[in-house]
Amino acid sequence: MQAIILAGGRGKRLGGLTDSRSKVMLPLAGKPMLEWLLHELEETKIKDVIIVHNYAGERILTHFGSGRNFNLNITYSKQQSDRGTVGSLITGLSLVEHDDRVLILNGDNMVDSKSINSLLKIKGDGLLVSEHNTPQNFGVIKLKGSTVKSITEKPDKDQIRSRIVSTGVWLLSRGVIDKIKLDFEEGQTELSTSISKQIKDGLKIETVRTENWHDVDHPWDLNKLNRYLLKRTQRNISKDAEIADNSTIDGDVYIGDGTIIHAGCVIQGPVHIGENCEIGPLAVITGSTSISSGCRIGPYTRIRSSLIMGEVQIDSNCSIHHSIIGPATSLKSNVEVDAASVDKIVRNTHYHIRRLGLVTGEACMLEQGVICAPGTMLGSQVYVSRRIQLEGEHETGSRVIGGT
């Protein structure tokens, strides 16, 4: 059986983080999100994967190639333009070889192999479902026994009758897909609409529940998924890493090749530190933190529960909590981030984030002594001059040089 992974979207709500890569290529716990998903697929009987890409697709090709290094056979299909879920699905279907059924997944979701395997046990058509706190952002499913009675795509809040939502992981047979294609040619670009129609005509879709499904929509979802994936980290310190004798490394900590941990550092797992990083001296890195390859963390700097992407440079005596720092961002000395609970309203939906610090896009530069209020969000290439008290949102390319 072949699997189609839809990975064409950008992930606009992640702001500057997706300037040069799509959401699926954001590094979590040391690997792009899509790589985590492929590792799960590796544990199933599926060996052939079709990746439908569009936005920044070259990056996906460069990273995964023919799939050989991931024990999968990967082929690619470029989505022609923005034609909705079905559009990209149909792009991918052109590469399916006479298979009776196809597994369909979203590249920007995380789901474990156990759930996929139980879905694959179903004889006919199937769907993986899960409970969610904000069902209004998904296809809400009404069940009859274990089969789908109806799907309502992104319903109004007051019309929600169920917290069960579609995870977007479908197992569909050729006949169902052919009908979706027909509907698409008639202008129907939503998968759930076409499926709903088929259900009315008597189609049975068996559901399987999962509790291990993670969706990433907003930046703070990244921290959450990072924390979840870091639980899988096992203590593994590369022989090619240089670790100072008097540093303390506790718990499940991964340290990659060529990384240097200077004297007096304290690292408490779960922590992932990629290749060729330089940490310390006397830096403190604690719980649920990922630091991607090529980062430099200066002396006396403290980092907790944060996602630090590639080639980030954080100078001395900074304090970073519950933050997401985009690739190639530079924080000069004494930058301080406060983390607290934050309320955000995005497209009429209210989000209460238990803890959030700073979120930056790519290649930002924060000069000495900048203090960031909880929930500060920056686009890419934002420049912030010395000792600014930073808060709110600042778009890509902006320069913050006065008070905010």
Partner 1 sequence: MCGIFGVTGDSSTTELLIKGLKRMEYRGYDSSGICLVNGKKLIRKRAVGPLSNLEPLVEDLPNSECGIAHTRWATHGAPTKENAHPHFSRDSKIAVVHNGIIENEVELRNKIKLIDEGIAFESETDSELVAHLLSIEFENSGIDIKKAKEEEILSCWKLVLDKLEGSFALAVVINGRNDFILFARKFAPLIISHDGERGILASDVSCVVGLTEEVFYLNEGDWGILTNSEVQIFNVDGEFVEVEAKKLEWKLGEAELGGYPTFMLKEIYEQPRVVRDCLRGRLSRDKIKGFSIPFNPRLLRIVGCGTAYNAGLLARYYIEQLSKIPVILDHAHEFRYGAPSGPKSLVIGISQSGETADTLAAIEAAQERGYPTLGIVNVESSTIARNVDSLLGIRAGPEIGVASTKAFTGQVLGGLLVAMKLGQLSKTFHREDLSYFDRHARMLPTSMERMLNDQNIKTKLWEAQQYFVDKNHAFFLGRNTSYPIALEGALKLKEISYIHAEGYAGGELKHGPLALVEEGTPIVVIASEGSSHKKLLGNAREVASRGAKVIFITHQEDDLADSHADLVIKVPRTHDLLQPLLYNIICQLLSLNIAEERGCNVDRPRNLAKSVTVE
Closest among 107, 3, 111 to 56, alpha carbons compared: 107
Our finding on whether 68 is near partner 1 (CB under 8 A) is yes
Our finding on whether 94 is near partner 1 (CB under 8 A) is no
The 10 Å CB-count burial string (b at 16+, else e) for 320-354 is bbbbbbbbbbbbbbbbbbbbeebebeeeeeebebe
Q: Which is nearer to partner 1, 126 or 361 (CB)?
A: 361
Our finding on whether 380 is near partner 1 (CB under 8 A) is yes
Our finding on whether 21 is near partner 1 (CB under 8 A) is yes
Q: Which is nearer to partner 1, 126 or 327 (CB)?
A: 327
Size of site (CB under 8 A) for partner 1: 33
Which of 58-66, 91-99, 213-221, 282-290 is the region at the interface with partner 1 (rule: CB under 8 A)?
58-66
The secondary element (H helix, E strand) that includes residue 303 is strand 302-304
Q: Cβ of residue 153: shortest distance to partner 1, in angstroms?
A: 29
Our finding on whether 19 is near partner 1 (CB under 8 A) is yes
Other beta carbons within 10 angstroms of residue 1's beta carbon come to: 15
Q: Which residues contact 391 (CB under 8 A, 6 or more apart)?
A: 372, 373, 375, 376, 404
Our finding on whether 195 is near partner 1 (CB under 8 A) is no
Chain Cα centroid distance, residue 201 = 36
Q: Cβ of residue 356: shortest distance to partner 1, in angstroms?
A: 24
Q: Which residues contact 162 (CB under 8 A, 6 or more apart)?
A: 135, 140, 141, 142, 143
Closest among 46, 59, 45, 52 to 7, alpha carbons compared: 52
Our finding on whether 276 is near partner 1 (CB under 8 A) is yes
Out of 71, 75, 349, 404, the only residue in the binding site for partner 1 (CB under 8 A) is 75
The rounded distance, in Å, linking the Cα atoms of 241 and 360 is 28
Which of 39-47, 201-209, 308-316, 338-346 is the region at the interface with partner 1 (rule: CB under 8 A)?
308-316
Name residue 212's amino acid. Answer: N
Q: Which is nearer to partner 1, 72 or 205 (CB)?
A: 72
Q: Cβ of residue 74: shortest distance to partner 1, in angstroms?
A: 7
Q: Which of residues 278-307 bind partner 1 (CB under 8 A)?
A: 278, 293-294, 296
Q: Which is nearer to partner 1, 63 or 174 (CB)?
A: 63
Out of 29, 37, 141, 363, the only residue in the binding site for partner 1 (CB under 8 A) is 363
Q: Cβ of residue 89: shortest distance to partner 1, in angstroms?
A: 18
CB 356 within 8 A of CB 377: no
Out of 36, 76, 170, 213, the only residue in the binding site for partner 1 (CB under 8 A) is 76
Q: Which is nearer to partner 1, 192 or 381 (CB)?
A: 381
186 φψ region: left (φ > 0), alpha (ψ -120 to 50), beta (else): alpha
Helix (H, G, I), strand (E, B) or coil at 5: strand
The rounded distance, in Å, linking the Cα atoms of 118 and 106 is 18
CB 329 within 8 A of CB 360: yes
Interface positions with partner 1 (CB under 8 A): 19-21, 56, 58-62, 64-66, 68-69, 74-76, 258, 276, 278, 293-294, 296, 310-311, 313, 327-328, 330, 362-363, 380-381
